[in-house]
Structure 1
Amino acid sequence: MRKREKVEIMIREAIPADAKDIIAFSKKTGAETPYLAYGAEGLELSEAFEELYLEDLMEKDNNVMLIATINNKQLIGLASVGATDKPKLRHVGEVGITVEKDYWGFGIGSVLMEEIETWAIESGVIRRLELTVHGGNERAIHLYEKMGYQQEAVMPRAMLIDGEFIDGVMMSLMID
């Protein structure tokens, strides 16, 4: 009989000290799946640049980056909302979410999406969350639909992966 290991998953806002782990996480997850906008190269940012980005993010009321860690150490998931400062568009947040492949199917994506929605409601600024997902990523599309996101459009040739064009599916959730 296998002994079950108990792990504690914590979700919190990213801080500048997380920059190194976020960059390493992007390289690992980029190599694990074709569904991200980047590959094994990761985000291709320096640690110093990521630190400054996270510092700036903390000052904004319409942007956030959340990280999920195990036992308050290993980064296993990341979710973010990015929005512009332009007055006519600052209420629209673009959602990004990534979970390390070893942790797919454990509900971490659902929890991160719930936290993003809660943050958006509490922000008082974000009124629309939107995202574009790889058309073949059925697991993610199912998650977003479960969270109340509606499909708005299929964008032919939105991505080019290994010489093959892939459709993108644009989805959104109104925050009211």
Structure 2
Amino acid sequence: MADEVHIKLATADDAAKVLDFLRQAATESDAVLIPHLADVTAEQERRNIEMINSFDDCVIMLAMLGNQPIGIVTVMVLEKQPNAGELGVVVAKPYWRNGIGQLLVGEAEYWFQNYSSLQRLVLTVFAENVPAIRLYQKLGFRQTGQHRDGQRKVLEMEYQN
């Protein structure tokens, strides 16, 4: 029987795999915007995951195919808006357009509604990323603003219950 994709909360033991996944994904998409990703050690990532898991307003979940992450979703509380969490989603390129992003965002929405202390779920997406925008709209996000990040237009979106 073929392996099935399942979603799990990331644990400190996943740190090295998470780093490997994010570094590979950064070569496949310019939407992976993690500062100093190349410099982060597995031990630092381990501590980051432990810290994230200690708060009720942050979460990191992995889409796993067998023993390997093929997608990740995070919700991180915004420092300047402590009632809002920023959603981040990355799916490995070979798995684009296979429902993995939808699965991850759906899990994040469920966590937001049932477990978090947050009041709002927000995200930013490059305007040319039409498949992602359609997915977010399908899952209840609406555009709340836009701005430029260098030469690129970025849409701001918010989840609506």
TM-score w.r.t. the length of structure 1 is 0.84
Tell me how far apart the structure 2 counterparts of residues 43 and 61 of structure 1 sit (CA, whole Å). 28
Q: 2:74 aligned with 1:74, yes or no?
A: no
- Compute the displacement of 1:46 (Å): 1.3
> 1:1-176 residue pairs with structure 2 within 5 A?
6-38=2-34, 42=37, 44-71=39-66, 73-84=67-78, 89-156=81-148, 158=149, 160=150, 165-175=151-161
CA contact (8 A) 2:142 2:160 kept: no
Asked which structure has the greater CA Rg, the reply is 1
Give the structure with the larger helix fraction: 2
Secondary structure of 1:83's counterpart equals: strand
CA contact (8 A) 1:35 1:137 kept: no
2:63 corresponds to which letter in structure 1? A
Tell me how far apart the structure 2 counterparts of residues 85 and 101 of structure 1 sit (CA, whole Å). 30
* Identity percentage of aligned residues: 28
> Where do 5+ consecutive residues of structure 2 fail to align?
none
CA contact (8 A) 1:28 1:42 kept: no
Change (3 A) 1:43 1:14: farther
- Compute the displacement of 1:43 (Å): 5.6
> Where do 5+ consecutive residues of structure 1 fail to align?
none
Tell me how far apart the structure 1 counterparts of residues 157 and 126 of structure 2 sit (CA, whole Å). 11
Tell me how far apart the structure 2 counterparts of residues 85 and 105 of structure 1 sit (CA, whole Å). 32
CA contact (8 A) 1:90 1:125 kept: no
Structure 1 stretches of 4+ moved >6 Å: none
Aligned residues: 161
Tell me how far apart the structure 2 counterparts of residues 84 and 104 of structure 1 sit (CA, whole Å). 28
Pairwise CA RMSD of aligned residues? 1.9
